[in-house]
């Protein structure tokens, strides 16, 4: 088993001696096989998974803190015994006011199907030009997925969720913010749900689409031939035929078909 921890690898000083930015960074290269799990768990910072050529994966990370004391409280750990497992750990001195930020970049073989699981609290999560299966969750920030081949589910609490050219997308959920999905092809039934955020769906393929909202508005171009229904509470609309089915629902958010 390979175990890597960051306490301080390279320190860069910026500004006066009274206000120093501490930076530590490192990288590893790991062999991966089809079906291997790739897990990244973060609290503050970005997670970017970028598919490319080759048959190995390179994981790079950068830890930034305001002080050396904060740097000593944080460890970035990556294990490569079975796939890739990266996480950030904190000692007992951690507090909500800690400035620590960890940014991950994973350069992965795009044609090797891997089992991706990414969790982040604050920052950006990006999954691009990769394949396999993916589960992404984010509390605050921006989630971007494009060119991913395989089953995919994504959820954001507060922020923006943008998905493009992911035919295996199965679900995307949002509480507050905006959800924008471009569909070129859909392989299975798809659920897009929001509580307070706006859902915008750009549909470039034939599918049956079912819309429902409790108190939001719905906009569908006339060319889709949508049938609108006013319910006792809320409203609904549908258009298209056959399968798969794309379901879009909101509580207070608006729905727009492009």
Q: What is the per-residue pLDDT for 69?
A: 84
How far, in Å, CA of 39 to CA of 157, rounded? Answer: 20
Going through 2-73 in order, the beta strands assigned E by DSSP cover 3-5, 22-31, 37-41, 47-52, 56-65
Is it true that the peptide bond before 244 is cis, omega within 30 degrees of 0?
Answer: yes
pLDDT in tens, 144-172: 999 999 999 999 999 999 999 999 999 99
- The answer to whether 4 and 78 are in contact (CB under 8 A) is yes
Q: Which residues of the chain have pLDDT under 50?
A: 1-18
The structure's pTM equals: 0.89
Region at 224 (left for phi over 0; alpha for psi -120 to 50; beta for the rest): alpha
Q: What is the per-residue pLDDT for 67?
A: 86
């Amino acid at each position: 088993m390979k175990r890597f921890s960051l306490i301080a690898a390279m320190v860069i000083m910026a500004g006066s001696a009274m206000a120093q930015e501490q930076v530590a960074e490192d990288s590893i290269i790991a062999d991966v096989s089809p079906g291997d799990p790739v897990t990244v768990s973060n609290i503050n910072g970005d997670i970017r998974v970028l598919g490319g050529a080759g048959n190995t994966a390179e994981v790079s990370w950068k830890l930034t803190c305001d002080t050396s004391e904060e740097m000593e409280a944080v460890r970035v750990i990556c294990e490569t015994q079975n796939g890739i497992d990266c996480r950030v750990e904190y000692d007992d001195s951690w507090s909500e006011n800690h400035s620590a930020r960890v940014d991950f970049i994973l350069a992965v073989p795009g044609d090797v199907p891997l089992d991706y699981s990414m969790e982040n609290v604050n920052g950006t999560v990006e999954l691009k030009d990769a394949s396999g299966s993916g589960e992404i969750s984010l509390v605050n920030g921006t989630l971007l997925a494009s060119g991913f081949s395989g089953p995919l589910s994504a959820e954001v609490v507060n922020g923006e969720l943008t998905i493009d050219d992911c035919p295996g997308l199965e679900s995307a959920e949002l509480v507050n913010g905006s959800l924008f999905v471009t569909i070129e092809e859909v392989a299975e039934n798809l659920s897009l749900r929001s509580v307070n955020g706006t859902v915008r769906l750009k549909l470039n393929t034939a599918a049956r689409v079912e819309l429902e909202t409790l108190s939001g508005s719905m906009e569908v171009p006339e060319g889709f031939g949508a049938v609108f229904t006013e319910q006792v509470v809320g409203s609904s609309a549908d258009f298209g035929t056959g399968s798969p089915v794309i379901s879009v629902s909101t509580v207070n958010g608006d729905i727009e078909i492009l």
